[in-house]
Amino acid sequence: MRDWPLYEIFIRSKNGLNHKHVGSLHASDPQMAIQNARDVYTRRNEGVSIWVVEANHITASNPDDAEVLFDPATDKIYRHPTFYELPEALKHM
Amino acid sequence: MSTHSLEDRFQHLIDHEEKIEARDWMPDAYRKTLIRQISQHAHSEVVGMLPESNWITRAPSLKRKLALLAKVQDEGGHGLYLYSATETLGISRDELIEQLLTGKAKYSSIFNYPTLSWADIGAIGWLVDGAAIMNQVALCRTSYGPYARAMVRICKEESFHQRQGYDILLTMSKGSDEQKEMVQDAVNRWWWPSLMMFGPNDEASPNSAQSMKWKIKRLSNDELRQRFVDATVPQAEILGIQLPDPLLQYNEARGHYDFGPIDWEEFFEVVAGNGPCNKERLAARVKAHEIGAWVREAATAYAEKQKNKIISTVSVA
Ligand SMILES: [Fe+2]
Ligand SMILES: [Fe+2]
């Protein structure tokens, strides 16, 4: 296990859906990561496709920056359809 | 917000059922408690494979063998999910494994009991996995995101474990007198240790209050134990066996089953390392780790070689 990189595992549960993060595991190389991901994360037909990404290749936003990054979106209610009132007479839009 | 300390803010999030994620600020004691609890849980999944693997080669039919193999394989996976969750808290896998192999870390004391007959495999699935499920379902709502997600995954896989165990006992309980005796004997030996799995009584469990406040734990040891007893007694009746507790009785007023006192001396003896199989279990883990060393080395060497190949191909081009 020593020095084996950590891989993050993403599984597409069926065609038409996104790959979704399911967990992580250590492996000596990407092929082994796929093999082991198959064994631990798809034993009950949970997937049709696997992505493995070395964890240290992922750049994540800092939780301390959450306000700076995400607060500007909270007061822009005009970006949602419910902001606009429609006349009663209108049936569909 | 700025007048609040980090700790107040943290508790505020927890009180509002927000999950804490790996890179969020958390009190040191929260982190330490989680590392201890989740890694103990991981070790338990891994060591828990040993008593059952004892019977894989001697399962009475191919169907039983396949089911047992699948169950034991699941437990290995559960160990992995939980080790991964622990690693998000900033401790390495190697350190965790070392803590297990040097005996520094604890695992559930239930796995220090021997599996003497095939009926024990049934009793483990029914009672031990049953008790584990009771605990794990509650932990699906634990406040630490990676732990909660691992629990959800585990719970999805667990219910077959309990059913395959119960199915073994149900089949045997319809068999010969000798088979029925085996069932009763296994249940006699596994009942009390299963009740101990929930840990000491609430008043003897001083750290529980803080864990409940942080919502690491969602239900107390005694609440979980009571739920387990209430769920299990009717299942025992269907099997036609006697649970080994003369004081076990339905209490109309409480709406729950009363049960006799637990022998905590036995529990603490096993936790301290003096159970029937403590030494054997640890020795088996150490041996497995040692004889697997060449596989890990070979995989590392192969990965190294592949990397060098790519580099030399690139430099030629
Ligand atoms: Fe498990
Ligand atoms: Fe299980």
Between CA B169 and CA B238 the distance in angstroms is 11
What confidence tens digit (pLDDT) does each residue in B136-155 have? 999 999 999 999 999 999 99
Domain assignment present for A84 = no
Q: What is the pLDDT of residue B275?
A: 96
Mean pLDDT across the stretch B306-315?
78
- Residues with Cβ within 8 Å of residue B153, at least 6 apart in sequence: A22, A23, B81
Q: What is the pLDDT of residue B314?
A: 67
What confidence tens digit (pLDDT) does each residue in B152-166 have? 999 999 989 999 999
Using 50, 70 and 90 to split pLDDT, how confident is the model at B1?
very low
Average pLDDT, chain B: 95
Does the CB of B95 have a partner CB in chain A at under 8 Å? no
**Residue-number span of the structural domain to which A15 is assigned:** 6-79
Q: Between chains, do A28 and B153 touch, taking CB under 8 Å as contact?
A: no
- Apex CA B74: angle with CA B221 and CA B131, to 5°? 20
* Residues of chain A contacting residue B150, judged by C-beta atoms under 8 Å apart: 23
* pTM for this model (two decimals): 0.93
Type of residue at A64: D
What confidence tens digit (pLDDT) does each residue in B206-254 have? 888 999 999 999 999 999 999 999 999 999 999 999 999 999 999 999 9
**DSSP of chain A:** -TTPPEEEEEEE-STTS-EEEEEEEE-SSHHHHHHHHHHHH-TTS--SEEEEEEGGG-----GGGHHHHHGGGTT-GGGSGGGS---TT----
Which is nearest to B191 in space by CA: B141, B130, B142, B257?
A: B130
Does the CB of B309 have a partner CB in chain A at under 8 Å? no
Q: Within 13 A of A37's CA, how many CA atoms are on the CB side? A: 30
What confidence tens digit (pLDDT) does each residue in B104-120 have? 999 999 999 999 999 99
Q: List, in sequence order, the alpha helices (H) in chain B.
A: 6-15, 28-47, 49-53, 62-87, 93-101, 118-123, 129-139, 145-173, 177-196, 208-213, 221-239, 264-269, 278-291, 293-316
Q: What is the pLDDT of residue A93?
A: 85
Which is nearest to B144 in space by CA: B1, B5, B39?
A: B39
Mean pLDDT across the stretch A78-82?
92
Q: CA nearest B70 in A: which residue?
A: A43
Find which of B6, B13, B66, B81 to mutate to test the A interface (most A CBs within 10 Å of its CB).
Answer: B81
Domain assignment present for A92 = no
What confidence tens digit (pLDDT) does each residue in B49-106 have? 999 999 999 999 999 999 999 999 999 999 999 999 999 999 999 999 999 999 999 9
Domain assignment present for A89 = no
What confidence tens digit (pLDDT) does each residue in B19-56 have? 999 999 999 999 999 999 999 999 999 999 999 999 99
* Residues of chain A contacting residue B80, judged by C-beta atoms under 8 Å apart: 23, 25, 40
Question: Is A17 exposed, middle or buried (CB count within 10 Å of its CB: 0-12, 13-18, 19+)?
Answer: exposed
- Give residue B168 CA to ligand 2 midpoint distance, Å: 15
For residue B317, is pLDDT > 60?
no
Domain count, chain A: 1
User: pLDDT exceeding 70 applies to what percent of chain A?
Assistant: 98
Domain assignment present for A87 = no
Find which of B25, B84, B152, B159 to mutate to test the A interface (most A CBs within 10 Å of its CB).
Answer: B84
Chain A: closest CA distance from residue B4 (Å): 16
Using 50, 70 and 90 to split pLDDT, how confident is the model at B315?
low
What confidence tens digit (pLDDT) does each residue in A25-53 have? 999 999 999 999 999 999 999 999 999 99
For residue B2, is pLDDT > 70?
no
Q: What is the CATH number of the domain that holds A73?
A: 3.10.20.520
Mean pLDDT across the stretch B178-185?
98
For residue A1, is pLDDT > 90?
no
Domain assignment present for A91 = no
Place of tokens 């191919």: B62
Domain assignment present for A58 = yes
Q: What is the pLDDT of residue A2?
A: 66
Domain assignment present for A41 = yes
ipTM: 0.89
Domain assignment present for A14 = yes
